[in-house]
Amino acid sequence: MGTLGVVAVFVALAGVYWDVSWHVTIGRETFWVPPHRLIYSGTAVFFVATVCALSLTRRRAGSLWATGRAGAGFAVAALGSMIQVSAAPLDDLWHEMYGLDVTVWSPPHLMGAAGALVGIYGLATALGTGLHRDEGSFGWAGVNVLLLFAAALSLSLFVLGPLDFRLDRRDALFYPLLAGPLAAIPIVAAARYVGRFGAATAVALVYVGFRVVALGIFVGMGAFENPGPPVFVLLAALTVDLALLGRKDGRGVLGAAVLFGPALVLGSGPSGRSCRCRTGSRCRSRPRSP
């Protein structure tokens, strides 16, 4: 059930990125456009998977209170998906009142993203109970946890639309600085929770791979022209791994988090090209305004 939940997370994430491309190239016809169906199909599968996992865990433990961290994690994950679904009618009402959003930062979008992050971290907590840091075994549970942290990183950076999509009028310093603390949470948490060197970099690699695939789809649809993959995250993640190397007592966490922000800013850097996307039109690259 845990693996099914992880797959559902990435299905919903694919719908989220598809939704942006859909709004850019086509606009907004109705709430039930194909990207929205993909998002909420993934959310529904995630909810069912976490509820079933909670039920199975309770049955094995004998009672709900005896399920421990795994039961609590599955319960929090189910709650997160409920929060995300609750944002759907509010998002529809918001669009009816204000039209197409010019930013990801609308209250319903932030509510949905927050619910999704709650669900992701809840599932990571539940699945992480199977990790054995000191016995050398990693297993499928560890792979699932790394994938979940990568999904959390993707969603955390997604809310910074101008950074993630390199849209026009992006401030060259503000968004990378804001991305520092947002992205540091899943990156540093992955490194400490998994407890293995390279965990942060592995999370960043999964994120970059997922984004490269998404960007390829965008280019094929004509929504974005020559968007660069977010490889800048790799440098920041490697910085975290090096800062935590050999530290088992958690004293390096604060230092890793502090180093992550400057590394992210240095790695992202200002770009000389951006694209402006209007509904019903293709993008044209042009020099970014200072």
pLDDT at 195: 78
| Tens digit of each residue's pLDDT (9 = 90 or more) over 3-24 | 899 999 999 998 888 887 777 6
pLDDT at residue number 102: 62
Question: Burial, 233: exposed, middle or buried (Cβ in 10 Å; 0-12, 13-18, 19+)?
Answer: buried
pLDDT in tens, 142-167: 899 999 999 999 888 887 755 555 54
Q: Which residues have a Cβ under 8 Å from the Cβ of 3 and sit 6 or more positions away?
A: 140, 144
At 103, which helix (H) or strand (E)?
Answer: none
Of 24-33, 208-217, 237-246, the one with minimum mean pLDDT is 24-33
Q: Does residue 218 or residue 289 have the better pLDDT?
A: 218
pTM to 2 decimal places? 0.81
Considering only residues 143 and 277, tell me which one the structure prediction assigns the higher pLDDT.
143
pLDDT-derived band of residue 44, with 50, 70 and 90 as boundaries?
A: very high
The answer on pLDDT for 132 being more than 60 is no
The confidence score (pLDDT) of residue 290 equals 35
The whole-number average pLDDT for the span 202-208 is 93
The lowest-confidence range among 46-55, 108-117, 161-170, 172-181 is 161-170
- How many CB atoms are closer than 10 A to CB 69? 11
Beta-carbon contacts of 48 under 8 Å, excluding residues fewer than 6 positions away, are none
79-107 pLDDT, tens digit per residue, is 999 999 999 888 888 878 877 666 677 88
What is the full DSSP assignment across 128-158?
GGG--TTSS--HHHHHHHHHHHHHHHHHHHH
pLDDT tens sequence across 250-273: 555 555 556 666 656 555 544 434
Lowest mean pLDDT among 61-65, 72-76, 217-221: 217-221
Q: Residue 40's pLDDT is what?
A: 92
E-strand ranges in 32-108 read none
Residue 51 pLDDT more than 90? yes
DSSP H or E run through 74: helix 68-98
Q: What is the pLDDT of residue 273?
A: 40
